[in-house]
Chain A
């Protein structure tokens, strides 16, 4: 049913279908009217349409808009990195690893601990690049380890169980890791050490903060590395084979369990990478750091088409930009006050909207036959 607009042929149109049609039209209409009002307000704040939509609107300056888009891209790149883990696991095992956001959080947490230790030792200031490489290595290692342990203890015993059972388990794992972080590291928010000036200064004609450039570059490099791994190596080939059909893959001599462990490890590594980037960009981490980015990253995976790795990255950028620009572009022109509070609501609404309009995502899903129900 997923992926079709109309109900199956022969099925009568029900009230639910009509309601959904109204909802789709309403959602698209809302976005279009909002955009139109925004454009109208940009042209001139006192044309009739702009005033009708929101008399107090001031519009955005070019610099503001550029700033929002760029921070959206930087956020989105991180969502994309996390989304890769969701997408890969969903492609191979067919369930949402709800605890993946927590792997990201633990990556950021590990980065906080190691970077503070290095800052105490003075290495963080004297040799920032080296220290950062060390911190990244540590975080990636911890995140990989956590993801693999999770798979081994919680998910492997549930192979072949009904699909909701591993999902519920992963919710439990997520809950456990979050609260473990509270009791082990304390409930307060913890800060990263100060970063060098060149990461805080604005560079190039676009005036992007150095940290954001770093995030975007790191995401691009990671993406390229993943592409190479999946498309050009034997391990990647095994992963693709298992994702396509694990039974046949095992008949071809692929060790399915080991391949799945590798999938978790790679997903965990990217989450750890995203965790460090998060730490550098926002310089603080707390036990529920992983929750919202996790959900948004999952949304990104769905938006790009779950199981589709390039799609996950694009979906991440899409969600990142949408949540950063969307409230000001669509809601503010319509006279909604305090729109920045609705950022997260916009991100969730994006997920709902995409599932309503195009459930298989922008680029289409890549799933096992039995998951495409």
Chain B
């Protein structure tokens, strides 16, 4: 929350410490009960059981235990949260945090203790499929229920104490500790990628030393990773920010140069990395790329123009099917077997027309009606591809198979057998999509979109033809999505109606919202994080053990983002100001920055930059 986060205030030093007897028992009970409930819920989803197969640190900690073990820590930390008045806490952290944290953590742990008791004495496997002795054994570390009950009370208490204790540390130390923990977990999650990359540059011994053979970091590896992260965080704090600020203050040719350098560097990394990694990782990268493309398209519709399109998968489907029908020799009705790039022209035209056709009736509707109606269109298009009525054209449930690859001027053929080439193809289209999004955002049309998003009535009064402008957003988004569809058809080599469920729309929506509506960097980061780590609707991510739970997590993430951070992970400055207008003004007033901001002119469309 860019607007509410403030630097630690000097006034905080004068706040009295919170004493143990200030403890708010009702709050404690509520928080503890919530944490205990979450513990039980998470356990009953079988998340710990499945994630137990994924070690973080070899023979010490698995992701499953980490998942349930971290909840008491969070509970212990949350209990110390206090209302800040004008950015200044009422109290300094004191013994309250330690006591409250321990108690809250114990309550959270008690949830699991209770679960162990319940599983031992009752059997309700009938509705709850994960109510199993296996779960009980996992929770009690295979040492019997009594041990299980006691150990979780203990783990809860210690975890809560740690969580509460974090509040007593100076900010710098706290950040360092959290960074260390984060880096260790991240290193474990990214194992496949890191091992692949490190081995690719010929440093297998390093990878073998860092990672255990059966997965997870080795103890020494974890220690080194934590130490590096700790040192870097402790001494490097603020350097990154300073560097970014320096680049942001550059102007004129120097700025252009810096930007060009950054873009070249990114491009170089993107071109070199696939050469170093194996085909499994390349497959992953290609999947991420496809979703980046889709998310960039949806970002124009949802992020820039503010139209909630829930049927975005329709354009993905139309793009796929058009490419399939035009390039595959086996397509039922017409099979011109066009080269892929020629077919792409048709894909663009047809998807554009479909975008117009779907867009025109819905564009005048209320925002929420529009969402449901686009969802309806998304389903209708899938049902039509699936139906017997049109199976003469699209093959019905059998779909279209044996779609050839993309021939590049007779040099090579890009198809699913070589994910590296697919990734390069996706990369090219991503680059195009990024460029298009970036230019559009700063164009007259882009400003019109943002105006419509902020207030349609005012935008109309300003002379914007809102209907045409919104329709254009729809069409541009559709075309970007169809690129992804066309590549998808050739990557997989076949298209089936079941690849285009509404689910896909939802996942893309989560990606866009998680990353940050309207922010290109945010959307790319969102796709990389969610699709890369958790996986897409049918594509596995780095955490394959998560595949059963990823949709659950997507749902929870969507709700949580909306409640806590509606502007997304990496927000666009303008969008977050729209969402936090009041807070922003209040905050700016507090910092005395209102005038400073106006002078700095960080509106994207000030004269010298557009």
Q: Which residues of A contact B (CB under 8 A)?
A: 1-2, 14, 16, 19-20, 23, 95-96, 113, 116-117, 154, 157-158, 161-169, 171-180, 182-186, 291, 295, 298-299, 302, 336-339, 341-342, 344-345, 348-349, 351-352, 355-356, 359, 373
Contact = CB atoms under 8 A, between A and B. Distances in A.
A291 B363 CA distance: 24
B368 A1 contact: no
Contact of A183 (B384, B552, B559): B552
A5 B465 CA distance: 19
Given A337-B389, A359-B369, 5 more contacts: A162-B579, A176-B559, A295-B375, A345-B380, A348-B377
Given A179-B551, A184-B128, A338-B387, A20 B379 contact: no
Given A183-B46, A336-B389, A352 B558 contact: no
Nearest to B383: A345
B364 A1 contact: yes
B126 A117 contact: yes
Given A295-B376, A337-B389, A341-B387, A19 B554 contact: no
Contacts of A113: 126-127
A317 to B, nearest CB: 20
Nearest to A19: B360
Contact of B361 (A337, A352, A373): A352
| 3 smallest beta-carbon distances between A and B, as pairs | A172-B558, A338-B388, A176-B555
B361 A164 contact: no
Given A20-B360, A23-B360, A185-B129, A175 B551 contact: yes
A332 to B, nearest CB: 11
A172 B559 contact: yes
Given A2-B365, A154-B563, A295-B372, A164 B306 contact: yes
15 contacts: A116-B126, A161-B566, A164-B308, A169-B559, A172-B559, A172-B562, A173-B559, A178-B551, A179-B551, A179-B555, A182-B551, A183-B549, A184-B45, A186-B129, A341-B386
Contacts of B402: none
A348 B361 CA distance: 14
B388 A337 contact: yes
Nearest to B42: A183
Contact of B468 (A14, A23, A298): A14
Contact of A345 (B360, B384, B506): B384
Contacts of B128: 184-185
Q: Is the interface of B mostly helix, strand, loop or mixed?
A: helix
Contacts of B383: 341-342, 344-345
B368 A167 contact: yes
Contacts of A355: 361, 365, 369, 373
A14 B558 contact: no
Contacts of A164: 306, 308, 367-368, 371
- State the main secondary structure of chain A at its contact with B: helix
Interface residues of B, number: 60
A183 B388 CA distance: 34
Given A20-B360, A183-B46, A172 B557 contact: yes
A16 B45 CA distance: 49
A355 B360 CA distance: 13
Contact of A298 (B363, B364, B372, B556): B372
Contacts of B380: 345, 348-349
Interface of B: 44-47, 126-130, 306, 308, 310, 360-361, 363-369, 371-373, 375-377, 379-380, 383-384, 386-389, 391, 465, 467-468, 471, 502, 506, 509-510, 513, 548-549, 551-552, 554-559, 561-563, 566, 579
A13 to B, nearest CB: 11
A302 B306 contact: no
Contacts, number: 164
A151 B176 CA distance: 38
Given A342-B387, A345-B384, A167 B556 contact: no
Nearest to B558: A172
Contacts of B563: 154, 157-158, 169
B235 to A, nearest CB: 39
A302 B554 contact: no
A348 B369 CA distance: 12
A344 B364 CA distance: 24
A326 to B, nearest CB: 14
A141 to B, nearest CB: 16
Contacts of B377: 348, 352
A6 B106 CA distance: 65
A168 B308 contact: yes
Contact of A171 (B310, B360, B379): B310
Most A CB contacts (10 A, CB to CB) among B365, B368, B379, B391 go to B368
B371 A167 contact: yes
B33 to A, nearest CB: 13
A31 B561 CA distance: 44
A18 B471 CA distance: 15
A14 B468 CA distance: 9
A1 B364 CA distance: 8
A279 B408 CA distance: 56
B392 to A, nearest CB: 9
B360 A176 contact: no
Contacts of A336: 389
B562 A352 contact: no
A31 to B, nearest CB: 16
Given A158-B563, A172-B562, A180 B369 contact: no
A351 B127 contact: no
Nearest to B386: A341
Nearest to B131: A184
B555 A173 contact: yes
Given A2-B366, A359-B365, A342 B506 contact: no
Given A164-B308, A185-B129, A338 B559 contact: no
Contact of B471 (A16, A298, A339): A16
A351 B376 contact: yes
A142 to B, nearest CB: 12
A175 B127 contact: no
Interface centre among B360, B389, B562 (most CB of A within 10 A): B562
Given A20-B361, A183-B46, A165 B555 contact: no
Contacts of B552: 176, 179-180, 182-183
Contacts of A183: 45-47, 130, 548-549, 552
Given A165-B566, A351-B373, A172 B310 contact: no
Max chain A C-beta neighbours (<10 A), residue from B377, B389, B554 = B389
B138 to A, nearest CB: 16
Nearest to A22: B360
A95 to B, nearest CB: 6
Contacts of B308: 164, 167-168
Nearest to B127: A113
A342 B363 contact: no
A351 B471 CA distance: 20
Nearest to A27: B361
Contacts of B506: 171, 175
B53 to A, nearest CB: 16
A187 B489 CA distance: 28
